Amino acid sequence: MAPYRAKRTVNSTELLIRRSRGIRDGGTLIRQNMKVLRGIILQDNRNFVKVWSKTSKSTIMYENGKIYFENYQNCYSSVLAEPRSLYKLPKRSKLEKFEDALLCQSPLEETLASPSDHKPSLLALTANNWLYRLSAETGEELQRVYLSSKHRFRYLGWDVSQEMLYVKSVQNKETPLARLAGVSQNTLMHLAIFHVFPLQIVGILEINKKVFGNGVTDIVLSQGVLAVSYSNKSVKLYSLEHILHRYMTEKLTLGKPSSLLEGQPVGEAPFGIPVNIHIKDCPPVLFEVSCSNNGVQIGGYPWHYIYTPPHDHHKGTHHICSLKDSTMATNGIQNMNCCSLESDGIFFHPDDSGRIIHVGPTTINVLKIIGELNSDWPSKVVQDFSMVTQRNNDPTSQVTVTSSGRTVKRRFHQLDDDPDQETFRMVEYEDELDLLAVVVTNGEEGEGKAHIRLHDNQSGQLQRTIDLVEPWDETFRHELFFDKDTIIHIEQKNTNFCCHVYKLKATRGKVAEK
């Protein structure tokens, strides 16, 4: 019998000493590195300091250590102590401008044919229907695909779990002339679907009203299903695998000739990619629900979905039901009962734990679903932990007496997200450090101020608070990203945008006076 060895905490210094001696475990090295970094971030002698700011006339985007300006033309790296320019692309014409872009990174465990496929790349869609794959580090063109001369593609989206990318066209709208002539427009849009790692075409399919119904308003691809939204506030899910198996007329390969193009190569101008998936009848509906704003989320374990019924008396409520049989979970109606300009938000936790995060102006509840996969009993929603703002709980008087003795009664109660009160604004999850970054604003002193509260993701315990230097104006749009030792705050000011970068620094103690 092996001797009992008690578990003990290993500090950052000991881990670094072990590493210098060559003692390391390949399976846990990255995890240990993140434990070291998390410990450093939470030390009292460390703080996040603003090191850089840059303004722009156009929208600023951030993705995985890269800040994009001028519609993805100008790229900065935020990995170093201070952001520096990685590349600046040549000026593009109006026809060649980027309409949308996504950052693509290959899985570490896969061996790919081309060395360039292993490196991060930017997938960019141009106004003239080209899909470019550019090096994320240099901006060099690695691959280009011409989509179509017949359909105007404008939007990119991920189906991450299936390692798929989809490109969505603009919606075809019925013209007044066609309406007068009695000609109906049945084709709503087209969807081009690609596998990534390496980039390879699956096909293009047509979303036709004769097949899916006249009320179709939009479509997205997620988790291997087509989610179709309808004007009657319903959402239907269809299996992409079933559609490909039954309706694909020809398998396509980029650069290879296709009979659908009379022997011309696929993905090259001027022919592009043909429609090779012809859906002739409506596929089986996997799931259907009526919901407010066509919003339904699926996740948890066992599988559940969250939605708000499309009726006025259900406004502000979120219903959590089993995906198997639509049974409402016990305690499955969540309602913050808040009176605010911005509605509360609810979503499945991005850490794949199956938990749910419900964010309101004064409270954040992290919920978990308790249930068995094949049980006849309904699952139950319970609170894992909760976070609350620090407010004066005394109710504000609705009656004010002026200096002349006149009594004035307020017509409205104070809103829960009033900028003069401490208010939750957003929650970000840092997966590698297992921390929740909660943005809190407070305008008691007349100018909106914001700070970030770092909470342990497992217990909800507050670990530390970080102050943001710049004012936070709630009338404008804000985005915040917490990425290991870096905090990115992107704000809009009227027609301008500004990016602020904070980096983890060691704080120097004050020198004692002699």
Q: Which positions ≥6 away from 493 have C-beta within 8 Å?
A: 473, 476
What pTM, to 2 d.p., does this model score?
Answer: 0.85
Q: Residues of the chain with pLDDT > 90: what percent?
A: 69
Residue recorded with tokens 């905490």: 9
Instruction: Evaluate whether residue 239 is within a structural domain.
Output: yes
- Listed as own residue / partner, the contacts of 366-369 with beta carbons closer than 8 Å and 24 or more positions apart are 366/460, 367/334, 369/300, 369/301, 369/302, 369/304, 369/320, 369/329
State the average pLDDT over residues 335-354.
Answer: 87
Q: Considering only 72-86, 123-137, 389-403, 417-431, which range has the smallest mean pLDDT?
A: 389-403
Which has the higher per-residue pLDDT, 405 or 236? 236
Instruction: Evaluate whether residue 262 is within a structural domain.
Output: yes
d(CA 465, CA 378): 39
Instruction: Evaluate whether residue 429 is within a structural domain.
Output: no
d(CA 404, CA 23): 79
Which has the higher per-residue pLDDT, 313 or 16? 313
pLDDT on residue 22 = 55
pLDDT on residue 510 = 47
pLDDT tops 60 at residue 2: no
State the average pLDDT over residues 286-312.
Answer: 91
Structure tokens that stand for 80 in this block: 């170093």
Instruction: Evaluate whether residue 151 is within a structural domain.
Output: yes
Which has the higher per-residue pLDDT, 95 or 15? 95
**pLDDT tens digits, residue range 49-64?**
999 999 999 999 999 9
pLDDT on residue 509 = 55
Does the bond joining 419 to the residue before it have cis omega, within 30 degrees of 0?
A: no
**Strands 380-388 and 363-370, bridge-based pairing:** antiparallel
Instruction: Evaluate whether residue 20 is within a structural domain.
Output: no
Residue type, 99: E
Evaluate whether 506 touches 46 at the Cβ level (below 8 Å): yes
pLDDT on residue 20 = 61
* DSSP-assigned states of every residue in 302-318: TTEEEE--SSGGGTTEE
pLDDT on residue 7 = 44
pLDDT tops 80 at residue 294: no
Residue 165's region, left for phi above 0, alpha for psi from -120 to 50, else beta, is beta
Structure tokens that stand for 495 in this block: 């027609």
Instruction: Evaluate whether residue 30 is within a structural domain.
Output: no
State the average pLDDT over residues 135-145.
Answer: 95
State the average pLDDT over residues 305-309.
Answer: 95
In 3D, which of 463, 475, 467 has the Cα closest to residue 449?
Answer: 467
Instruction: Evaluate whether residue 144 is within a structural domain.
Output: yes
pLDDT tops 70 at residue 279: yes
- As beta bridge partners, residue 115 has none
Burial of 434 (0-12, 13-18, 19+ CB in 10 A): middle
Residue 97 structural domain: 92-290
pLDDT on residue 413 = 56
Residue recorded with tokens 């427009």: 185
Does the bond joining 378 to the residue before it have cis omega, within 30 degrees of 0?
A: no
Q: How many domains does the chain have?
A: 1
Tell me the average pLDDT of the chain: 87
d(CA 363, CA 391): 11
Residue type, 472: W
Most confident of the ranges 19-33, 67-81, 384-398: 67-81
Q: Considering only 124-133, 380-389, 439-448, which range has the smallest mean pLDDT?
A: 439-448
Instruction: Evaluate whether residue 2 is within a structural domain.
Output: no
Structure tokens that stand for 46 in this block: 């460390």
> Over the range 242-266, which residues count as b (16 or more CB within 10 Å of their CB) and which as e?
ebbeebeeeebebeeebebbeeeeb
Q: Which positions ≥6 away from 510 have C-beta within 8 Å?
A: none
Residue 260's region, left for phi above 0, alpha for psi from -120 to 50, else beta, is alpha
pLDDT on residue 262 = 94
pLDDT tops 60 at residue 173: yes
d(CA 136, CA 106): 12
d(CA 505, CA 48): 6
pLDDT on residue 13 = 63
- pLDDT grade, residue 119 (50/70/90)? confident
Phi and psi torsions of 45, nearest 5°: -90, 15
- The residue ranges of DSSP E strands in 402-445, in sequence order, are 407-409, 423-430, 435-442
**pLDDT tens digits, residue range 177-194?**
766 766 677 899 999 999
